[in-house]
Every structure is written in C-alpha cells, then in structure tokens.
Amino acid sequence: MLLAIDVGNTNLVFALFDGEELRARWRISTDGRRTGDEYAVWLFQLLGIEGVAREDITHIIFGSVVPRADHNLTVLCEKYFGITPIVAGHGEAGWGFEIDVDLPSTLGADRALNCIAAHEMIGGDMIVVDFGTATKFEVVDYNGAYKGGIIAPGINLSLDALVGRTAKLPRIAIEAPETKSVIGRNTEDQMLIGVFWGYVAMMEGLIARMKNEIGRPTKVVATGGLSVLFDDHTGIFDVVDTDLTIRGLQLLARRTISKG
C-alpha cells in the first residue's frame, strides 16, 4: 500500500492507496510544531479503524508547502514505518515536466502535483483551479508543460480579512446564497453576496481572460474542497476532481518507484 501525504497551509491530507484504489483519506490541521510521535498516535488509530497494519504500507510519499512540517513527517515515516519517504519534487521524485516560468524553483508542490495529475488524467491545454488557503490558477499546455498562472486570496482568507478588519460585520459561513439576487436586504446577505458571487465573478473573468490569451481550446479543471460548491453555480468547469493533488502524489510515487 502507498501512503500519500499532501501538506497544505491549512490542512494535511493523508491518503491510503491499495494499488490504484483510493481506500481512505484523513485530514488534520497543519501545525509545524506537531511531532512525528504525535502524528503516529493519531494515524495509527485511523489505520486500525480501517483494518490496516503499519506493515501493510510499503511506500510513503509527501508533497509539502510547509517546510517546518517536513522533518517531523520524515521522523514519522522512518521511526514508525521503517520507510524513507519519497519527497515530491526532490531527487528521483523530480517533477518530470517543463516549468516554463521565470523562477521554476518557486513552483509549489501542490501546484506541480495538480499539473501532473491533470495532464496524465485529462490531457490537452488546461487551466487547473485549486481552492485552498490561496486559490491558484495553473496553465498547462498540451505537452504537460507549466506555462504560468495566478495566485489569488482564498475565499476564506478574504472573509477572514473582511471580518477581522471591521468592527461590526459578523462572521458568516461560506455557502451559496438562497437566491440569485445580487441586491442584499440585510447585512449578512450583502456580505454573502459579495463574498460568494464576487468570487464567482472573479473566477469567470480571470478564466475568460486566460483562455483568450492561450488562444486554443482549453479545458478547466477544478480541485479543492470548495470546487463542488462553486461548480453548482457556474458553468466554467469541465472537470471537478477534489482528489487531484492526492492523485498527483500517487502518479509521482509510481513513476519514482519504477525507477528503482
């Protein structure tokens, strides 16, 4: 079995693959101070519920945008599983595609993994949209090369800034407004309209501009927890896959293991 770990700014996702099957996934908040021992206590309980012994796991890969977490994850892998982890983007686990931007080394692991998965699973010219702490738009051409993209504040980050910098605005949940009217009749509705439909308008506008600049038929692939919510209220996405980053880790691990 393969244990794939996606280390994001807000959460870590642990995913268990049994061959090609994604058997289980678990989420824990990101904390760079969390030790390998703490990860082990939490993870072994979940593996036990799933009926999986630590000996069943033969390979581990992680991709990280939080450098402080990397050492403790490596301790988890080596101390409790006896496995040297594959680190996405390093050594034999290099990305394996052209990064055609000014500073290729600055491309985040999550963004690179999304490019790998989208090209392998869908192909053609693509824009990959990932809803995370930040919302990222990636342009991948038909050869799988990364051509650049956009980074925008995530919707929760935008809402946090709005509530945190105002004295009287209340905290609201991110959800679709009950009506399609964009003229709110109370403070909460006005905030939700601004955050939700404002975000939809931003996505639709940016993707239209990107497609125009690319100049060829381009598919739009969405991932991240909020992708399903937005997909119900816009027609811009051709494919929605909430597990795209995890699938990228699986594909990269398979490629790296085959080299050995």
Is residue 241 part of the annotated active site? The answer reads: no
Please name the amino acid found at residue 103.
Answer: L
The three-state secondary structure class of 96 is: coil
Question: What is the distance between the alpha carbons of residues 113 and 7, in angstroms, rounded to a whole number?
Answer: 12
Q: How many CB atoms lie within 10 A of CB 166?
A: 10
DSSP summary character for residue 92: G
3-state helix, strand, coil split of the chain in percent (to 5) is 40, 25, 35
Token pair recorded at residue 174: 């991110």
Please name the amino acid found at residue 247.
Answer: R
Catalytic option among 110, 130, 141, 241: 110
Could you list the beta-strand ranges (E) of 10-83.
11-18, 21-29, 59-64
β pairing state of 59-64 and 126-131: unpaired
Surface-to-core class of residue 173, CB atoms within 10 Å of its CB (0-12 exposed, 13-18 middle, 19+ buried)? exposed
| Catalytic residue IDs | 110
